Structure 1
Amino acid sequence: MPTSLTLEQHLAGLHAAMLAFARHAGAAGLDVPVPTCPEWTVRRLVGHQGAVHRWAAGALRGEDLDWAPVEKAGRSSADPVDWLRDGAIALVRALVEADDDTPAPVFLADPPASPRRFWARRLCHETTIHGVDALAADLGRLPRAEETWIERDLALDGLDELLLGFVPRERSRLRTEPGEAPVTLVVRPTDADHAYTVRVSDDVPVTVRHDDGAAAAGDREVTGNAVQLYLALWHRSDELAASDVWPLWHHAAVR
């Protein structure tokens, strides 16, 4: 999972996402449904994200937190949005205080060598995508890329993490049905020079980043700017849903 972003840029992305998350969660109201997360309310969204922040901070400190009580405490807090902010502050403190050789569990295919860098990046994107969920709750619908605060470089980094880190895992459900021929999907950002191919078969998906985007070819293609693709591949927007990529992607891809 290559990244051209620095630790400071991932922390800045986390900060921007938290500002948007808190603003839209507060404006929407805690008991409002989240269109991008069926069966979730804003309260549950806040509890989930706050628990993720606290778990990751604990992991960087060598602690193993029990998830369920932490999430429950957030949902039942007198001010869940303030509780969310407190957890994000503690996470940033843990990331800043950790060293590059601080041990912590990581996952995804080809993770960065430093757990600190892994978690700064992962929580930047985790908080960004769930911040979009809060925006969706505030809007009452799926948002468009132009309605978010997300910048191109962050979205491109998120595509690298998703396509090169999440998709090729052994546990990936992005597979063809037994007996079906393999399919190669092309993901082509219109505002970058590179593109991706994802070979989907009944085995583990194989993703290749083509730094010469013209070299990427396949059976199906989805095209859009980086932010549109970032949101669409995480199922947070329907701007690009007309593409024939989506039946396969929506059937089994990550959420």
Structure 2
Amino acid sequence: MTESLEFSALLRLIGERSAAFGSAVAAAPGLDAPVPSCPGWTLFDLVQHLGTGQRWWAAIVAAGPAEAPPAKDAAKAPRELDALLAWYAESNELLLRTLREAGPERACWTWWSAGVSPANARGVARRRVHEVLVHTYDAQLAAGTVQPMPADVALDGVAEFLDTCNSTPAAWPHEAATVHYHAAEGRSWLLALDGTGAWPAPLTNDAAPASVSATGTAEQLLLFVWGRLTPGDLKIEGDPQVFERLITWEPGE
């Protein structure tokens, strides 16, 4: 796993970003407002998705090591604004309390077990920070109140996405390639794609020229890897087809 924030900082950020998420929801014109970055979703759908996710991951961490996750809670979130926000706050606090009690090294089921991110409470906390971070952007977009992301959190978010979502032993089904990401804040990353899978690594000065590279702010790069921005929103050099293939690649297929 690439260097990441301390466990205590991850827990603090889950709380901070969740508060920002709640503020965006409260400022929106209504729970039926569409979420432009999540086509087909309303703001209510977004809150229910994130709150249900917080509850599910709390149950996963509480269960400890397991071959399969517990079932998701099928209960629907309340549709009245104040009740919905209280339900979400309760969901978030349940996750935070469970993570605190478990501690960072508590092993648990994760869908990324074959990748770089650890299958433990630390890995879950890091994943949930960035889930809330990006969905806060979604909610702010729906409310028309988009605020800049904290640069240090966005930087960790790019690295976390490569560690978790782009890390797999599944063979890359195309010609071997390397992808470089360059943040204006001074950080860079490399993703190698070949027959051994997809593996992130720090980008060193002596690295070979990339098959393709993307340059932007940390926030732009994070939104790009999460599918909120397109290659046209960044400075792209090299073969853009590599990004097209990476975006549509489903290693489990």
Q: TM-score, normalized by length of structure 1?
A: 0.80
Q: Deviations over 1:152-193 (max 9, x none)?
A: 221221111111221122579xx55xxx54443221223224
Whether the 8 Å contact between 2:105 and 2:122 is mirrored in structure 1 is no
Match of 2:56 in 1: 55
CA RMSD in angstroms, aligned pairs only? 2.9
Match of 1:110 in 2: 116
Q: Indicate the percent of aligned positions where both proteins have the same amino acid.
A: 26
Cα distance 1:158–1:25, how it changes in 2: closer, same or farther (>3 A)? same
Partner secondary structure for residue 186 of structure 2:
coil
Partner secondary structure for residue 37 of structure 1:
coil
Match of 1:197 in 2: 191
Whole-Å separation in 1 of the counterparts to 2:15 and 2:138? 16
Match of 1:132 in 2: 137
Partner secondary structure for residue 63 of structure 2:
coil
Cα distance 1:232–1:51, how it changes in 2: closer, same or farther (>3 A)? same
Q: What is the aligned counterpart of 1:222 among 214, 221, 228?
A: 214
Q: Deviations over 1:190-212 (max 9, x none)?
A: 3224331332x6x5642342342
Whole-Å separation in 2 of the counterparts to 1:56 and 1:77? 25
Partner secondary structure for residue 74 of structure 1:
coil
Cα distance 1:166–1:90, how it changes in 2: closer, same or farther (>3 A)? same
**Does residue 83 of the first structure (1) align with residue 87 of the second (2)?**
yes
Cα distance 1:54–1:133, how it changes in 2: closer, same or farther (>3 A)? same
Match of 1:206 in 2: 198
Partner secondary structure for residue 122 of structure 1:
helix
Match of 1:240 in 2: 233
- Residue 35 (structure 1) shift: 0.7
- Residue 246 (structure 1) shift: 4.8
Q: Which runs of 4+ in 1 moved over 4 A?
A: 75-78
Cα distance 1:81–1:170, how it changes in 2: closer, same or farther (>3 A)? farther
Cα distance 1:67–1:21, how it changes in 2: closer, same or farther (>3 A)? same
Whether the 8 Å contact between 1:167 and 1:205 is mirrored in structure 2 is no
Q: Deviations over 1:4-40 (max 9, x none)?
A: 3101211122122111211111222211111111111
Whole-Å separation in 2 of the counterparts to 1:111 and 1:224? 24
Q: TM-score, normalized by length of structure 2?
A: 0.81
Whole-Å separation in 2 of the counterparts to 1:225 and 1:216? 23
Question: How many matched pairs?
Answer: 238
Whether the 8 Å contact between 1:193 and 1:213 is mirrored in structure 2 is no
